[in-house]
């Protein structure tokens, strides 16, 4: 499920009253969108911000990784937001607008596979254009992993073409030459686009919120085309061949077996994986993040009943094989020894 999370932001000026401002955060798989969103959620001032998080998959991992300081949430249908645009997105925005307590700002985090163009058009070609104001489309780019043929995905390039600003994230993992080459590629793809560099998504909020970068007039000529050919914009996942595998279990993994899966069995066509993991050898809750060839495992405390929840995203993934391999990583059931127990009926 997708949820709206209401919280407070960093020190920001009073916003204009010409419709609720909206910022769209997009970017390819593993670029750091949720990390950037957490930077927004960590700031506390007088603005009331609604956050809509959209994931590709049927387990909502990102929701569990967001820093929440408010329990007021609205559950929504999940899926790629650009493919469920007419109902899910419009309805969720109305839920924000109709709240008794005024919301000052809406931030939308798309899936890593979303084409931002239909999302932009939804705000500009429906009744939302009278109630909201698109402020900026911010594209987060992994400076270490991104290249001109990024996973051969048209969506990755469209996220730059329709962005108003690029946040070049993870610069601490990239060489100076790579950063320079990437900047040149981005500027060639979208001339004049604003580029900011960051580590761990740390960008001052006044540089990314209420900045007025989206020029709605530039899209007017495309609105009629969009209305005539909405279906043409919703087949990019099929065209790119992307799919996902979700895995859940109430049994823990054995750490050695899971490490073997990562090192020996993980398919090369898995581009992104994320999950909340439970290991037999540990009492901690483990946050698992994989992007390309890099993965990270961080431990913290459980706040709910331990279980394994994992989503893998890639191209033409063999769901049956991956699920079987992950099942093989689970710890064996520990059954009581019936011969040591008194008064058994057998």
Domain match, 225 and 261 both? no
Domain match, 161 and 266 both? no
What are 244's strand-pairing partners? 313
How buried is residue 108: exposed, middle or buried, by Cβ count under 10 Å (0-12/13-18/19+)?
A: buried
Domain match, 258 and 210 both? no
Domain boundary (222, 238, 254) is at: 238
The range of the structural domain enclosing residue 316 comes to 242-328
Task: Judge whether 216 and 124 are in contact, CB under 8 Å.
Answer: yes
Q: Residue 148 and residue 330: Cα distance in Å, rounded? A: 39
Domain match, 115 and 148 both? yes
Domain match, 219 and 249 both? no
Q: How many domains does the chain have?
A: 2
Domain match, 193 and 147 both? yes
Query: How do the residues of the chain divide into helix, strand and coil, expressed in percent and rounded to 5?
Result: 35, 25, 40
Domain boundary (238, 262, 294) is at: 238
CATH number at residue 324: 3.30.1220.10
Of 161, 169, 225, 176, residue with least CA distance to 199 = 169
Residue 258: inside a domain, yes or no?
Answer: yes
Residue 99: inside a domain, yes or no?
Answer: yes
Domain match, 233 and 248 both? no
pLDDT digits (tens, 9 = 90+) for 290-332: 987 788 899 999 988 999 999 999 888 999 999 999 999 999 8
Domain match, 64 and 125 both? yes
CATH number at residue 119: 3.40.50.300
Q: Residue 255 and residue 260: Cα distance in Å, rounded? A: 9
Residue 262: inside a domain, yes or no?
Answer: yes
Residue 341: inside a domain, yes or no?
Answer: no
pLDDT band at 165 (very low <50, low <70, confident <90, very high): very high
Query: Hey, which of 37-46, 145-154, 208-217, 336-345 has the most confident mean pLDDT?
Result: 208-217
Q: Residue 46 and residue 4: Cα distance in Å, rounded? A: 18
Domain match, 272 and 129 both? no
Domain match, 97 and 24 both? yes
Q: Give the three-state DSSP class for 84.
A: coil
Residue 344: inside a domain, yes or no?
Answer: no
Residue 319: inside a domain, yes or no?
Answer: yes
Residue 100: inside a domain, yes or no?
Answer: yes
Task: Judge whether 137 and 24 are in contact, CB under 8 Å.
Answer: yes
Domain match, 293 and 179 both? no
Ramachandran angles phi, psi of 140, nearest 5°: -95, 130
Residue 335: inside a domain, yes or no?
Answer: no
pLDDT band at 81 (very low <50, low <70, confident <90, very high): low
User: What rounded mean pLDDT belongs to the chain?
Assistant: 81
Please enumerate in sequence order all residues whose Cβ is within 8 A of that of 58, keeping only pairs 6 or more positions apart, or say none: 78, 246
Q: Residue 168 and residue 139: Cα distance in Å, rounded? A: 9
Mean pLDDT value across residues 210-229: 83
How buried is residue 332: exposed, middle or buried, by Cβ count under 10 Å (0-12/13-18/19+)?
A: exposed
Domain match, 220 and 278 both? no
The CA-based dihedral angle spanning residues 67, 73, 79, 80, taken in that order and rounded to the nearest 10 degrees: -60
pLDDT digits (tens, 9 = 90+) for 266-280: 998 898 899 999 999
Percent of the chain with pLDDT over 90: 44
């Amino acid at each position: 499920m997708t949820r709206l999370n209401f919280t407070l932001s960093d020190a920001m000026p009073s916003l204009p009253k010409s419709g609720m401002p909206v910022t769209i955060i997009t970017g390819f798989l593993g670029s750091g969108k949720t990390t950037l969103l957490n930077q927004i959620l960590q700031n506390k001032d007088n603005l009331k911000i609604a956050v809509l998080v959209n994931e590709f998959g049927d387990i909502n991992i990102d929701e569990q990784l967001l820093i929440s300081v408010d329990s007021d949430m609205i559950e929504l249908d999940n899926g790629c937001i650009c493919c469920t645009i007419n109902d899910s997105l419009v309805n969720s925005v109305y839920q924000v607008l109709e709240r008794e307590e005024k919301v000052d700002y809406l931030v939308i985090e798309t899936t890593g596979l979303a084409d931002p163009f239909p999302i932009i058009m939804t705000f500009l070609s429906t009744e939302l254009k009278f109630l909201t104001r698109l402020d900026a489309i911010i594209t987060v780019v992994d400076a270490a992993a991104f290249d001109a043929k990024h996973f051969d995905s048209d969506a990755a390039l469209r996220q730059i073409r329709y962005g108003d600003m690029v946040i070049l994230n993870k610069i601490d993992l990239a060489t100076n030459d790579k950063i320079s080459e990437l900047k040149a590629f981005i500027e060639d793809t979208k001339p004049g686009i604003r580029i900011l560099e960051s580590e761990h998504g740390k960008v001052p909020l006044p540089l990314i919120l209420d900045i007025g970068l989206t020029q709605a007039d530039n899209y007017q000529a495309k609105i009629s085309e969009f209305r005539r050919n909405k279906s043409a914009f919703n087949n990019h996942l099929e065209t790119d061949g992307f799919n996902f595998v979700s895995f859940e279990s109430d049994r823990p993994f054995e750490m050695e077996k899971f490490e073997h899966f990562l090192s020996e069995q993980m398919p090369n066509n898995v581009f992104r994986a994320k999950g909340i993991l439970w290991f037999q050898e540990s009492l901690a809750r483990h946050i698992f993040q994989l992007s390309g060839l890099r993965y990270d495992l961080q431990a913290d405390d459980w706040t709910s009943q331990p279980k394994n929840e994992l989503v893998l995203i890639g191209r033409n993934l063999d769901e049956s094989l991956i699920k079987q391999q992950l099942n093989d990583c689970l710890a064996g059931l520990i059954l009581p020894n019936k011969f040591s127990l008194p008064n058994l009926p057998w």
